Chains A and B, each alone.
Chain A
Amino acid sequence: MVVPGADQSDEALAALAASGDGRAFELLMERYQSRIYRLACRMTSETEAPDVLQDTFLQVYRHLEQFRGASRFGTWLYRIATNVCLMRRRAASRRPGESLESFLPRFDESGRHEDTPETLSRMSHLDERIDRERLAERAHVALDLLPESYREAFVLRDLEELPTAEVAEALGLEPAAVRQRVHRARLMLRGYLNDLAGRLP
């Protein structure tokens, strides 16, 4: 008999869990709890994160049999969690805030950066010049303002640090589309942070 244990792969535990082994399911969820919590905070909010986790765990439990091991278990789980986050965001019907478009880099007619090197690097060492809580608060505001499809790609790729190929699989996109979205998100967020740095006393 196979006993679920910490040394077993996610995929092995998932197979045991699907065959009715409750302990395997608990171990698997324990393994991902912190990561999915962080993901949920980044994609929704700290208030909504516990509900996102419950919904995600419930979905995983219900659909375990459908996990066939064609992808990594983690990728499959991220796909479910991302969808739950999206659902929550829609249900909360967030009011449209300011757009981040205005933070995109600007170029003159010859294609040259309009801003000077000094202006472009205002955000250098921003984390040492701003209160930790204020930076966290601004970071969440900025993530919240991103277009939905950019946020998902950016959070998975750059904050959860999944490889581009895995993000593509989790979101059902081509890697090139993931790169394009992550890139646009980085450009907007960079501009947002640089602007924030410029306003510091």
Chain B
Amino acid sequence: MSDVTCARGVELLMDYLEGVLSAGVMESIDRHVGGCPRCLAFIASYRETPALLRDATAEEIPGDTKRRLDGFVRSLSERPRES
């Protein structure tokens, strides 16, 4: 694996980030990425993606919904358990 391409690097990117590749493969990816501005730009945006979406979708439960659900849970917990 001496000649990693951008395409090959992208294919292995998550495995690379999770550290499940062999040391040799990791090194050959490092070598390619180190000299490839396109991969550097791509990887930065790839890594930014989860946090962007996480922050954009972090909904909090509205008060009235919470009260209704609490009531529902209570109605369940007061029920005798079937055995």
Q: Interface on A for B, CB 8 Å cutoff? A: 17-18, 20, 22-23, 25-26, 29-30, 33-34, 37-38, 41-42, 46, 49-50, 53-54, 57-58, 61, 105, 107, 110-113, 115-118, 120-124, 126-127, 132, 135-136, 138-140, 142-143, 158-159, 161, 164, 179-180, 182-183, 186-187, 189-190, 193-194
Contacts and interface: CB of A to CB of B under 8 A. Distances in A.
B26 interface: no
A187 B38 contact: no
Interface residues of B, number: 45
B15 A112 contact: no
Contact of B6 (A18, A46, A107, A194): A107
A144 B10 CA distance: 24
Interface of B: 5-8, 10, 13-15, 18, 20, 37-42, 44-46, 48-50, 52-61, 65-66, 68-70, 72-74, 76-78, 80-81
Chain A: interface secondary structure?
helix
Contacts of A23: 77
B38 A120 contact: yes
Interface of chain B: mostly helix, strand, loop or mixed: helix
Contacts, number: 144
A193 B54 CA distance: 13
B58 A38 contact: yes
B38 A136 contact: no
A3 B58 CA distance: 33
A140 B60 CA distance: 15
Nearest to A42: B57
A23 B78 CA distance: 9
Nearest to A138: B56
